[in-house]
């Protein structure tokens, strides 16, 4: 799937196993362009583990994530366990998410993704603040140099100045496709603005459970983004 700045895509993320099992492929196509399966969330309910709980959604592009606990993962799992989970789904993966902070410890998986020509997202999360521009730029550079297809940055916004600064970061050229979004009370407006500024992937939730503070439902986000005209500065 090719990503373009003037065509923001919507990622619908499942907040729990039941939302994933309840999802209907035809309805999902209207709500998002890519569906994110959070393997760390599924592990929380491993006792009720159905084989391939996403098997009914294989016609949808699937993004698989095994989030580290330090950046919002549902449980503490070391890199070996997270790599094991991700390796087990590569036959079904259109995309894979690996945190910028995990690049070194997951280098073997990254090499396998390259060999299999599966693009990956290098993600960066801060649930307390919007980091300095230099910190975000360094993370984007690290993502680019590691071979990621997209650098994703999600951070809590303290006020309108942070919304503007995140949008300015999105508008800049970082040598890699960028996906940005705010978290917290200003998350909804920031996600629309960042999409209008060229964020290639824009996250909402599928079902009843958000996967980040202030997240739109995926269906509403997709409808709202469709009304935006791309900015051309």
Q: What is the CATH number of the domain that holds 215?
A: 3.20.20.70
Say what the pLDDT of residue 215 is: 87
Range of the domain at 71: 9-225
User: Comparing C-alpha atoms, which of 102, 100, 61, 60 is closest to residue 85?
Assistant: 102
Flag whether 138 is in a domain: yes
Compute the average pLDDT of residues 170-180: 96
pLDDT at 124 over 80: yes
Flag whether 3 is in a domain: no
Flag whether 55 is in a domain: yes
Flag whether 233 is in a domain: no
Tens of pLDDT, residue by residue over 34-85, are 999 999 988 766 655 567 899 999 999 999 999 998 988 778 889 999 999 9
pLDDT interval class at 120 (50, 70, 90): very high
Say what the pLDDT of residue 1 is: 67
Flag whether 4 is in a domain: no
Say what the pLDDT of residue 175 is: 96
Flag whether 217 is in a domain: yes
Flag whether 232 is in a domain: no
Compute the average pLDDT of residues 194-218: 91
d(CA 72, CA 79): 15
d(CA 93, CA 86): 9
Percent of the chain with pLDDT over 70: 95
Domain count, the chain: 1
Distant-in-sequence, close-in-space partners of 36: CB < 8 Å, separation ≥ 6? 11, 12, 13, 14, 62, 63, 64, 65, 97, 203, 211
- Mean per-residue pLDDT over the chain, rounded: 92
Flag whether 214 is in a domain: yes
Say what the pLDDT of residue 133 is: 96
Compute the average pLDDT of residues 104-122: 97
């Amino acid at each position: 799937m090719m990503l373009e700045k003037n065509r923001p895509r919507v990622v619908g993320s499942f907040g729990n196993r039941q939302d994933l099992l309840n999802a209907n492929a035809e309805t999902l196509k209207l709500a998002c362009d890519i569906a994110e399966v959070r393997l760390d969330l599924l592990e929380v309910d491993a006792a009720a583990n159905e084989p391939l709980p996403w098997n009914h959604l294989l016609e949808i592009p699937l993004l698989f994530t095994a989030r580290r606990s330090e950046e919002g993962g549902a449980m503490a799992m070391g890199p070996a366990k997270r790599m094991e989970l991700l390796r087990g789904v590569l036959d079904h993966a259109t995309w894979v998410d690996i945190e910028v902070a995990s690049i070194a410890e997951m280098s073997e998986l990254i090499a396998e993704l390259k060999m299999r020509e599966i693009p990956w997202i290098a993600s960066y999360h801060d649930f307390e603040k919007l980091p300095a521009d230099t910190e975000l730029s360094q993370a984007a550079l690290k993502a680019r140099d590691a071979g990621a297809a997209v650098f994703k940055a999600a951070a809590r916004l303290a006020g309108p100045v942070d919304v503007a600064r995140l949008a300015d970061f999105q508008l800049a050229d970082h040598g890699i496709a960028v996906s940005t979004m705010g978290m917290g009370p200003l998350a909804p407006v920031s996600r629309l603005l960042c999409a209008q500024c060229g964020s290639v992937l824009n996250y909402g939730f599928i079902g009843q459970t958000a996967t980040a503070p202030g997240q739109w439902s995926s269906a509403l986000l997709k409808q709202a983004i469709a009304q935006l005209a791309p900015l051309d500065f």
